[in-house]
Structure 1
Amino acid sequence: MSEPVMGVVVCRPPALRRFALLATALSLLGSAVLSAPVLAVDAPASDIVFSVESAKASKSLMLDVVHAGARLIAVGDRGHILYSDDQGQTWTQAKVPTRALLTSVFFVDDKHGWAVGHDAQILASQDGGVTWTKQFEDLTREAPLLDVWFQDANSGFAVGAYGALLATTDGGKHWEDASDRLDNEDQYHLNAIASVKDAGLFIVGEQGSMFRSADGGETWEKLEGPYEGSLFGVIGTAQPNTLLAYGLRGNLFRSTDFGSTWEPVELQAARGALEFGLSGGTLLADGTIVIVGNGGSVISSKDDGETFTVFNRPDRISVSAVTAAGNGNLILAGQGGVRATSPNGAELSAKPVK
């Protein structure tokens, strides 16, 4: 079987490493301490393969975009990592020691961040995304990591295909295989991890799988979710214990009790119910929730996720991630690169990468 995940299609054997790029569905181990088995952090520069510099990098497939302080950071195809210090008007390509597809990025402050991707790669930056080092890589997994989350500069998790859950308590110097903390016998792909206000951590994935932790990820409880299809994203809201989970065909669910119970959120587009897959979301400073997905879908809520306004971009370009630009606009990442938009998702002019 194959499972569409934000920006890639994660396939069961033997074709896991062959991923389609946003064609139809854009939505994407024991307790031993792990270290990079292929390339050490202090490897000679001559042995490191860096991403190719390209003036068109900002127009290539980008799968995630976040803030590092006031700076914007985007990651995507061929190891490209871009940063912008002018609210997304121009982008500069960072020096990155990989050419693998990067699927997710997370910063805990304006300096410290991590990016994950294919071949179970984990990259780290300590200068706001300008330069990166490879912390971990495992070619034998033949599987991507799909999301990453950190509590602070030391403690974090990465999740991915075949139930991968990696944990670190030293900023990524060592990664522990923590998948045995989950009751995930079928090794369902784990697509996203997020924190929920005043509650804990939440993971969603393949076949509607859900896991929650109230103790910082030390132990996890498996939940019976509201949906048997795959969930590509999860986001906590501004209210305690409240979160949204979303995935295939516009399925969106809201919980106010940390996932114990769920209610479906109906999404109505101009031509009827929204049926495009939803893949990435963000919580803006004013409490507005924005979620994006296939077909140029940009949906937003100002009432903590109870109701949403639906907008489909005219270009129908699939979008994988969204964040605030810092000037009232939004930054979208996905097919066709990174672009600035108005709050309702309409296109704004953009300048090329430096």
Structure 2
Amino acid sequence: SGGGKSEMLEVAHREADGRLLLGTNLVTGEKRHIEIPRGCELRPVTDDMALCHPSLQRGDGKLTVTDAEDAWFVRVNHITRYATDPHFESLTAQPSEPLLFLNIDAVPNSRAMIWEHIEDSPGRPCPNPRVIVPRRAYPGIIDTPVSVDIRSLGVRTPPCTAEHPSYGIIGIFHLLPPSLSWLWRLVAPRGYDNPSIVDTEGMTSEGVGSYWPFATGRKVDHANLLLNQIVATPKVVHILTPNQHLGAWKTGFMPQWVAREYLARRGVAKFKPDQVRPARCPLLGHALHHLTVEGNAVPRWLLQVNTQPEVGDEAYDTGAEMLTEFFHRHLREFLSPDLHPLGRTIIECCLDGGQVEDYQSLIATPYLASSVI
């Protein structure tokens, strides 16, 4: 929840001059932009619930999915003014059929505007405005199963500074060995300032797979299902994408949009030794060492958060300790006799302070050129 699933269906939000705002430094007020003249065409398949039934799988090393819903329940709390997302605003302002709006301030027979959120109290907008859009109303929709090349997991991250350390230490995106990706799906962090959840503070778990609130049975059975799925799809690349903050920089959902544009252009090419480094926090897999999108170099301090002068190594390490404690606390509950032996090995690797190369050795890592350690 709050990981940016629906936002992956949105075009990247642009400034008035067409640039993308990478982020705003919360300490200095500096803004950093990037120019991507043309974004990729979006062909949506699913919103936040995909079906990957065994009958759909093609045995090609990739995960085949199709939509599990007939309509999409889209949160619009991040759309706060006109022209933030012209594509979706147009779709909802002049829909091809009536739509259901929730927590949107409108009167009967008027045109509902998705940036007009009701207020929970004077001056305090509702954090969870929604609109339900039928799949058939979405342009460019794909109705047949598709194979997944890149599987992302999003995390809402708080600001992190030397004065106020936090787990907001994730760079613009990280590459995860499949075994680490499985661990992230077990702990499924709900993250910072989640607009869907108003009664919790700090980092909490969504439950195994992030779908646990809707699941039946035992957590360990779902953990085994997820592990078997990852092992059976060795060609899938796993990434971790933060949203809201990269260290001291407020970013919104821009990190995942930039990652999408970059990886779509890159295709299936593997990363070479000079492009990635093991992250300072092993739970974050590989951090990018440099990133160039359409000729624009993204600053390293947005790739490796500890290099930000407002953060530094000490605050980063404090955040890494928070993240590690969270993982250890939630992973121990899966150590039951019914856990897959490989799963037990992966969890014990984490509890024993495993490094990135240790996770790589447990399940083959598909995104690295052979010379990368």
What TM-score bracket applies, with the shorter chain setting the length?
under 0.3
Higher strand share: 1
TM-score, normalised with respect to structure 2: 0.24
Q: Please say which structure displays the higher CA radius of gyration.
A: 2
Higher helix share: 2
TM-score, normalised with respect to structure 1: 0.24
